[in-house]
Structure 1
Amino acid sequence: MKTKLLLIFFLACSISGFSQSYIFGKVKSELGNEIFETIIINTRTDEKVLSDKDGNFMIAAKPSDELRFVKSGYDRFDVRISNENFSKPLDVHLKRVPYLIPEVEIAFQPTGNLKKDSKTLDPPKKVVALNSSLNAYMMTPPSEVGPKLTTPSAFQGQDYSAGHANILGIAKAIFGLVKKKANPLTTANYAETQQFFARIKLELDLSFYTSQGWDEDEIDRFLIYADQTYQLAKKYRNHFNISKISTEMMLAYKEYVKTRKTKS
């Protein structure tokens, strides 16, 4: 009986300690309406999560961490976490941007950070269209069958494997099955997912998405959606296949646009 009581006590303590490492809350507008798909960022750990359709969110944090709330059409809002925020939900109210004038274009002001400034400078539309056409052409299979290099039978040596089982082929097939079972797909943790997103931004051509008027925040929001829908980090973080990742991202984009239209 004492053993069971001790086990329950330690379990309760561990659950209590775990719950204190997360912040729960809701994002609302000035009028009290829930705001969905708000990006919540822990500036210390760089962890990013999205609020759900009811504005609820959960993110790991420690006292003195700073949480940043980002939503298109609203002012950014920062909150410094204290011990009191772990005992009750954190209610955040975002204010709408006072004026949105799409006709006015703010002149580009370089920051001196080449990696950051290069994302701001979008390529010309003709270059984007040309790159899109070239990518489509390169992915199209050839229509003509190319010649095969073969050795005339008069110069070929004796085939000692004729009429016998292909031992080497069987061994390779067995090794492939064993290797496949030995290396199953595993769910990516937070650090692996963030490294995978960073590699996508570095190696993939994202000009199609920037041509839609998406900024870095919108691209981050889409990558989170695409990963949750198609498990991109789980499948490709160890075997980074640019062609397959690009294809599944385009499939996710079609579904993502539909959800955005439905919610708007």
Structure 2
Amino acid sequence: MKGIITDEDGVLLPAVTVMNVSLEKKTYTSSDGTFSIEAAPEDELRFVRPGFERSSIKAKYLVNNNLNIKLIRVAQPIEEVEVAKITGDISKDSKAVAKVDKGRIVKDAVGLPEPKGKMREEPATVKQVLFPILLGNLNVQGLYDLISGDARRMKRQYRYDDLQEDILWIRERVEDDYFVKEGIPKERISEFIEFSFLNKPQTRTFVRAKNLTGALSRMEESFVIFVKRLKESSNEK
């Protein structure tokens, strides 16, 4: 039994779990959205992918053993919006509408910019160096040590944390078996994902854009290279 899976817009979907519920067998779609699985006419085939509604069909309803199925995206919940109640009393209603976040007023007055991306913890050293500067006491040596030492260490730590988050984003959305069937040992899946980021930098760009389909399509180009290196390393031992 062969088939191809896309979303509503016709975009090919890799890493879709295809299960033959009757035989308790499963496989995954490749980067081009295709799959192949053993199935008898009465077997139930089920298709699962995070972010999409689950779909299933009896094999006997497929034409010429070919399946072309579309998965529907799960609707994202809309955050609730608080609406102020109108009482009819002009004095009360005008005050309710005029309520403004005092913290916002201070920020706007001082001109503080909104933080972009993640809030980073400020090293204690930064406070020790910057506070004297703000008070008019320039600590040149402390500033130099900060720039050349702690600042760079913190920057490396931030890069490492970001890398781990991107790897985790993939791991949470793709089952381990998807990588194992391509020759990646289970204990080295995270290592492979990091390798794919280096081998095909665009892979991580798709991760940052929360585009799993794009990330996996680039990632699959690294399977052969990584598996080859594993074999070479094993032979050297």
Name the TM-score, length of structure 2 as normaliser. 0.42
